[in-house]
């Protein structure tokens, strides 16, 4: 079971969180014309990465904040975690 | 029985406490501190079971977790448990056990005919045989395999035992209390680290209980006892026996199963049977020791053939002789230690050593005791069917290929030692890539993957002195890292006998003309010949060989067989063992009872039960409840002998003619607050929200980004910056997460807060033509006229002094109101409603009537908003704004979503106006068309229309818009029904919606 460092609460077990998918996806702005391709990339197309992956988790049984977690998808190693509004360098 | 094989004194059992037990119906005695295995052996019982495939007689092979044979069905306090290892089960007064996998009895087993048919049961037998004809599978093969497979029988009764889960954190978790575990635990504990030390056996000390060594001028056993006694007094240390760490998971999470009550005749009051510990450790020390491996020879599964270390353990720990004419067959010095123990207790062993001329202190001691030693000698085959009677032995050439003349010698047991295999399971589970160590012919852990290190025999270190040195150092170093303390702990001096190099020899060749079965895997009956066949048939990967032959796949997970299997493959393939590689070790290391894994989350505790504040009222008034997610909701209120159908019809009818009240507390409620709340709702819902005035409610539909309807509900503007959103019961949690996602990640610039208020409000829906009359009685000082509180209006009022919210919204399609009060007043509100409603013939209604009312009105709910439909499909396209953007809008342009014949909600009425249509039925054009009959749609919800007194259903139908008036068939193969139907409008009752506005 993963041990995730919630930037708001500290180290917590995985069972307090729910997974939210790829954190690098950016929603197209409202009222902006987007091509089918652009929209499909946003809604459906995801890379199934092996290795370092920036993903979203919500601390659903804790502070309820959405956070970003940099995790290796094959080893489960967690490198860093970020608040929702924190820039990932 | 007389315990004829118990030595006069010695061993660690309590001879003052005699215990009686039964095995296969026969009564025996043993002592407190025995295992079932040691007590049976004390009574000379060697035959305990039949093997899995050939039903060959089987005895005891080991003395602990590695035991492949002695699996019994245990009876304890009126319960039964299968697959218990007799070598692990502690004896208690009144214990009862039976052999498994034999019929009618272990002595006369009909299945043993397989042993004579074994030529027809080669590797891959099942894959090859049960393939054809296909029709035989269900009727013949599958029942046959089911009957033949498996060892014990699971109880079909409810398990009355309790199992608990515990979450724990520590600095150091130490697996195993042998010399390395004790040393590292002691050093770390002295430096203040929080330590958990786990031992799977009842006694601490591991190998120190049986080895002839001296630590700090005490026997190894006494030293271990002293250390444990001191550790137990320390507040920063937890020592646990009967506790197996069986799994090493991600991020240093380990799971341990503690057998709290298995050694007692009955679980003590308030105690669990087992306790599962989830331990998050900063550092892990694996000191799990090693398991002796067998040498492979003919008939090496005969009862009486066992590991030499097991024979020594039975003697030293339990005071039991496994035989009185022992033959020790070894390729290393460990066999001599066993022989010496026999000799010390007046039994003359014969030692066969495959080595030509080994020299060591231990061997010298054996010689000095006058033990008969034969060098360059091997056991070719054991003889005897239900027990070893003699052994065929022979000298062996230096290249280990040629056998000399075969001689027969009498013996009653063969103690075999093929050197030691480090127990690397936990290290391997942690992700550690193991490496092969030539000097010991076995795998050891490689580079640490998580925060784990492996010490002592588990790391392939068999010298006690070195083990203590490295383990004290590791304990100090790791604790220093955590506690910063650096207390010097003196390492005691060690006296042990030096041993000599083992022989790489592991398998005795077959003598000419003999075809003895030489077993590798004792529990799954996999012999050398089976692996040979698999390789001949082209299996190469060790993972495939394993699955094809089932080598190492039994409940012992190949603890005694894996390495010999690898040796065999490497020999035939002419590869070195590391090139063959080993199969992956996965948790659990030993079987864990399902009860322990489930813990207390069984039955009604498997999920929380949420009840509305009015629950006790419903109970008192004969409500029959239904699970709605985790909520319990009244399904109907039973009057007399009414059926569900009759009651729901009565309740729905009463709403249409008088007035009804329904508990709607379970609806999700979310407070949306902040200056940008209107803008946020405008983006979340498909319809427009910017102009909703204070004091008004609006129905809204929200989509996922893929255009599929996520949820619907009404949201009311309570004040300028405060909205009260309702969601469906099922989606409440998802909708909240969804809103939080957009506020926190997508539009953090919006100044809005959301919080769940589901539990803060109790809700009652009051519906029916007389509902306004009732409300006027409940709120006499408020203007409840159609102008004072119009449809979709909102008002704050007080209900006999209690603050209340009144929403004029309707799910039933009747004139209706929803009244909310703070939860604590829920019951008060309900009683007032019932009291005031009496003169209007009020009746409570449950979810079944609620469904009827909404279905015949064509209002959609969860069965239509099923994660596959868009607004158009639900006839909700009128709520989709063309002007503004919102979540999921862009997806609605997808070609399938705008196609001319897009699916759409319709009403369905059976032509005979009598036959109810099962939910889930398919709608087809031609009931007799050949299969697969093209499906045009499906019935999403069915009811008995109380308005028209005939069945009515909703369906999602292809090209539904143009299908009104068509005649189709509803087919339900499950219910074996074909019903001719007519497609009608989904708005079956009051299509203009006049009632809600009246």
Contact A62, A12 (CB under 8 A): yes
Is A3 in contact with B251 (Cβ distance < 8 A)?
A: yes
Is A66 in contact with B705 (Cβ distance < 8 A)?
A: no
Size of the A and B interface in Cβ pairs below 8 Å: 51
Q: What three-state secondary structure class fits B805?
A: strand
Dihedral angle, C-alpha B726, B732, B735, B741, nearest 10 °: 120
Question: Among B251, B253, B737, whose Cβ lies nearest the Cβ of A58?
Answer: B737
Crossing angle of helices B179-190 and B220-233, in 10° steps, is 30
Contact B179, B471 (CB under 8 A): yes
Give CA B10 to chain center in angstroms: 42
Distance CA B861, CA B916 (A): 20
For B578, the enclosing helix (H) or strand (E) is helix B577-580
| Chain B residues whose beta carbon lies within 8 Å of the beta carbon of residue A60 | 737
Distance CA B83, CA B307 (A): 21
Q: What is the residue whose two structure tokens read 């920063």?
A: B236
Q: Is residue A89 part of a domain?
A: no
For B909, the enclosing helix (H) or strand (E) is strand B904-910
Given this model, what pLDDT does residue B582 score? 78
So what's the ipTM on this one?
A: 0.98
Interface test with B, best of A39, A56, A61, A68 (most B CBs within 10 A): A39
- Best CA proximity match to B282, nearest among B255, B250, B252: B252
> How many Å lie between the alpha carbon of A1 and the closest alpha carbon of chain B?
5
Is A76 in contact with B250 (Cβ distance < 8 A)?
A: yes
Distance CA B905, CA B927 (A): 21
> How many Å lie between the alpha carbon of A35 and the closest alpha carbon of chain B?
10
**In B, what residues contact A, Cβ < 8 A?**
249-253, 278, 280, 431, 683, 705-706, 737, 740-741, 744-746, 748, 884-885, 890-891
Is A27 in contact with B891 (Cβ distance < 8 A)?
A: no
Dihedral angle, C-alpha B56, B62, B66, B67, nearest 10 °: 40
**In A, what residues contact B, Cβ < 8 A?**
1-3, 13, 18, 20, 27-28, 30-31, 34, 39, 42-44, 56, 58, 60, 64-66, 75-76, 78, 84-85
Q: State how far the alpha carbon of B183 is from the alpha carbons of A17, B33, B365, B530, in Å.
A: 38, 25, 29, 44
Question: Among B253, B740, B891, whose Cβ lies nearest the Cβ of A66?
Answer: B740
Going B150 to B153 to B155 to B159, the CA torsion angle's sign is negative
pLDDT along chain B (998 residues), means of 10: 86 96 96 97 92 85 93 92 94 94 67 61 60 60 58 84 96 97 97 97 97 94 97 98 97 97 95 97 97 96 96 97 97 97 96 96 96 97 95 96 96 97 95 92 94 96 96 96 90 92 94 93 90 90 88 86 90 86 86 93 90 97 94 97 97 98 97 98 97 97 97 97 96 96 97 97 98 97 96 97 97 96 98 98 98 96 96 97 96 95 97 97 95 95 97 98 97 95 96 92
For B50, the enclosing helix (H) or strand (E) is strand B49-50
Q: Is residue A48 part of a domain?
A: yes
Given this model, what pLDDT does residue B232 score? 98
Q: Is residue A46 part of a domain?
A: yes
| Chain A residues whose beta carbon lies within 8 Å of the beta carbon of residue B252 | 3
Is A34 in contact with B890 (Cβ distance < 8 A)?
A: yes
Is B250 in contact with A13 (Cβ distance < 8 A)?
A: no
Q: Is residue A35 part of a domain?
A: no
| Chain A residues whose beta carbon lies within 8 Å of the beta carbon of residue B748 | 84-85
Contact B163, B453 (CB under 8 A): no
Whichever domain contains A74, its CATH number is 3.30.2270.10
**pLDDT tens per residue across span A56-88:** 999 999 999 999 999 999 999 999 999 999 988
Q: Which domains does chain B have, with CATH numbers?
A: 1-156 (3.10.20.440), 165-290+422-495 (3.50.50.60), 294-418+501-510 (3.50.50.60), 524-557+561-597 (1.10.10), 663-845 (3.30.1360.120), 853-885+898-997 (2.40.30.110)
Residue of B nearest to A85 (CA): B745
Contact B175, B587 (CB under 8 A): no
Give CA B743 to chain center in angstroms: 37
> How many Å lie between the alpha carbon of B885 and the closest alpha carbon of chain A?
6
| Chain A residues whose beta carbon lies within 8 Å of the beta carbon of residue B251 | 1-3, 76, 78
Distance CA B339, CA B332 (A): 12
DSSP H helices, B397-444, are 425-429
Interface test with A, best of B745, B749, B755, B891 (most A CBs within 10 A): B745
| Chain A residues whose beta carbon lies within 8 Å of the beta carbon of residue B683 | 30
Q: Is residue A77 part of a domain?
A: yes
Domain total for chain A? 1
- Best CA proximity match to B825, nearest among B787, B798, B850: B798
Is B748 in contact with A39 (Cβ distance < 8 A)?
A: no
Beta-carbon count within 10 A of B157 CB: 9
- Environment class of residue B895 by beta-carbon count within 10 Å: exposed (0-12), middle (13-18) or buried (19+)? exposed
The parent domain of residue A56 ranges over 3-25+40-83
| Chain B residues whose beta carbon lies within 8 Å of the beta carbon of residue A56 | 745
How is residue B490 written in tokens?
A: 């003196």
Q: Is residue A66 part of a domain?
A: yes
Q: Is residue A76 part of a domain?
A: yes
- Best CA proximity match to B152, nearest among B101, B214, B186, B190: B101
Question: Among A18, A65, A78, whose Cβ lies nearest the Cβ of B744?
Answer: A65
Distance CA B327, CA B413 (A): 6
């Amino acid at each position: 079971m993963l041990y995730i460092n919630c930037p708001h609460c500290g180290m917590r077990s995985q069972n307090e969180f729910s997974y939210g998918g790829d954190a690098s996806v950016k929603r197209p702005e409202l009222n902006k014309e987007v091509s089918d391709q652009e929209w499909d990339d946003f809604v459906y197309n995801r890379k199934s990465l092996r290795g370092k992956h920036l993903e979203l988790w919500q601390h659903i049984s804790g502070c309820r904040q959405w956070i970003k977690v940099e995790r290796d998808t094959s080893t489960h190693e967690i490198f860093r975690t970020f608040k929702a509004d924190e820039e990932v360098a | 029985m007389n315990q004829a094989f118990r030595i006069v004194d010695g061993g660690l059992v309590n001879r003052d406490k005699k215990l009686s037990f039964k095995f296969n119906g026969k009564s025996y005695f043993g002592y407190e501190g025995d295992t079932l295995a040691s007590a049976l052996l004390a009574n000379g019982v060697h035959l305990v079971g039949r093997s899995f495939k050939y039903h060959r007689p089987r005895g005891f092979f080991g003395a602990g977790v590695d035991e492949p044979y002695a699996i019994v069905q245990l009876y304890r306090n009126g319960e039964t448990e299968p697959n218990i290892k007799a070598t692990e089960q502690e004896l208690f007064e009144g214990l009862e056990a039976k052999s498994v996998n034999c019929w009618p009895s272990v002595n006369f087993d009909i299945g043993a005919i397989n042993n004579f048919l074994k030529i027809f049961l080669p590797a891959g037998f099942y894959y090859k045989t049960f393939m054809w004809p296909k029709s035989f599978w269900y009727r013949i093969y599958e029942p046959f395999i089911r009957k033949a497979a498996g060892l014990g029988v699971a109880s079909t009764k409810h398990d009355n035992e309790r199992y608990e889960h515990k979450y724990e954190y520590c600095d150091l978790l130490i697996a195993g209390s042998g010399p390395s575990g004790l040393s590292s635990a002691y050093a770390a504990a002295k430096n203040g680290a929080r330590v958990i030390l786990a031992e799977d056996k009842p006694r601490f000390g591991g190998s120190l209980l049986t080895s002839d060594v001296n630590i700090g001028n005490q026997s190894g056993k006494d030293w271990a006892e002293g250390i444990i006694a001191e550790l137990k007094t320390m507040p920063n240390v937890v020592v646990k026996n009967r506790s197996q760490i069986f799994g090493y998971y991600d991020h240093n999470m380990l799971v341990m199963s503690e057998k709290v009550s298995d050694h007692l005749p009955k679980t003590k009051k308030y105690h669990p049977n087992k306790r599962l510990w989830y331990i998050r450790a900063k550092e892990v020390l694996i000191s799990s020791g090693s398991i002796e491996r067998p040498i492979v020879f003919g008939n090496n599964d005969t009862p009486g053939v066992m590991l030499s270390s097991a024979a020594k353990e039975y003697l030293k720990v339990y005071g039991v002789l496994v035989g009185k004419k022992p033959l020790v067959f070894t390729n290393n010095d460990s066999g001599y230690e066993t022989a010496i123990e026999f000799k010390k207790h007046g039994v003359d062993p014969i030692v066969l050593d495959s080595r030509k001329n080994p020299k060591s202190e231990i061997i010298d001691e054996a010689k000095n005791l006058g033990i008969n030693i034969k060098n360059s000698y091997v056991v070719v085959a054991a003889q005897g069917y239900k027990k070893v009677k003699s052994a065929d032995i022979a000298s062996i050439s230096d290249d280990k290929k040629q056998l000399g003349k075969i001689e027969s010698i009498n013996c009653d047991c063969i103690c075999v030692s093929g050197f030691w295999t480090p127990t690397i399971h936990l290290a391997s589970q942690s992700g550690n890539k193991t490496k092969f160590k030539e000097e010991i012919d076995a795998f050891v852990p490689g580079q640490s993957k998580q925060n784990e290190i492996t010490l002592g025999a588990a790391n392939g270190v068999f010298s006690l002195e070195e083990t203590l040195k490295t383990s004290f150092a590791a304990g100090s170093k790791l604790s220093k890292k955590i506690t910063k303390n650096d207390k010097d702990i003196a390492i005691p001096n060690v006296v042990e006998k030096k041993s000599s190099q083992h022989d790489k020899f592991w398998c005795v060749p077959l003598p000419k003309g003999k075809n003895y079965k030489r077993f590798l895997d004792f529990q799954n009956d996999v012999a050398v010949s089976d692996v040979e066949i698999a390789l001949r048939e082209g299996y190469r990967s060790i993972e495939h060989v394993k699955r094809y032959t089932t080598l190492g796949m039994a409940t012992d997970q190949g603890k005694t067989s894996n390495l010999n299997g690898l040796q065999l493959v490497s020999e035939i393939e002419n590869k070195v063992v590391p090139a063959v590689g080993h199969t992956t070790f996965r948790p659990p290391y030993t079987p864990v009872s399902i009860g322990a894994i489930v813990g207390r989350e069984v039955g009604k505790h498997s999920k929380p039960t949420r009840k509305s504040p009015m629950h006790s009222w419903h109970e008192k008034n004969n409500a029959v409840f239904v699970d709605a997610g985790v909520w319990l909701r009244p399904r109907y209120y039973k009057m007399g002998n009414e059926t569900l159908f009759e009651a729901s019809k009565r309740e729905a009818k009463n709403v249409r003619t008088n007035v009804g009240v329904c508990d709607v507390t379970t609806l999700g409620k979310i407070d949306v607050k902040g200056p940008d709340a209107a803008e946020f709702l405008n983006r979340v819902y498909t319809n427009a929200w910017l102009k909703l005035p204070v004091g008004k409610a609006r129905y809204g539909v929200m989509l996922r980004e893929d255009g599929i309807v996520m949820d619907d509900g009404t949201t009311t503007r309570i004040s300028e910056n405060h909205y009260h959103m309702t969601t469906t019961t099922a989606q409440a949690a998802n909708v909240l997460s969804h809103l939080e996602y957009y506020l926190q990640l997508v539009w953090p610039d919006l100044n809005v807060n959301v919080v769940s208020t589901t539990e803060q409000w109790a809700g009652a829906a009051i519906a029916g033509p007389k509902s306004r009359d009732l409300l006027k009685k409940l709120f006499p000082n408020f203007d409840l006229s159609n102008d004072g509180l119009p449809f979709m209006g909102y008002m704050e009022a007080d209900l006999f002094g209690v603050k209340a919210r009144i929403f004029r919204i309707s799910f039933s399609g009747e004139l209706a109101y929803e009244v909310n009060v703070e939860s604590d007043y829920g019951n008060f509100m309900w009683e007032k409603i019932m009291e005031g409603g009496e003169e209007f013939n009020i009746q409570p209604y449950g979810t079944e009537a609620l469904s009827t009312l909404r279905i015949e009105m064509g209002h959609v709910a969860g069965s239509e908003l099923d994660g596959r439909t868009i607004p158009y499909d639900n006839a909700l396209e009128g709520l989709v704004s063309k002007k503004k953007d919102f979540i999921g809008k862009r997806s609605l342009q997808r070609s399938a979503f705008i196609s001319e014949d897009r699916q759409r909600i319709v009403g369905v009425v059976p032509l005979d106006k009598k036959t109810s249509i099962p939910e889930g039925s398919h709608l087809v054009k031609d009931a007799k068309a050949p299969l697969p009959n093209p499906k045009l749609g499906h019935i999403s919800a069915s009811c008995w229309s109380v308005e028209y007194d005939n069945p009515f259903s909703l369906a999602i139908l292809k090209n539904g818009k143009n299908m009104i008036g068509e005649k189709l068939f509803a087919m339900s193969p499950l219910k074996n029904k074909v019903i001719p139907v007519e497609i009608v409008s989904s708005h079956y009752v009051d299509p203009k919606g006049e009632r809600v506005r009246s």
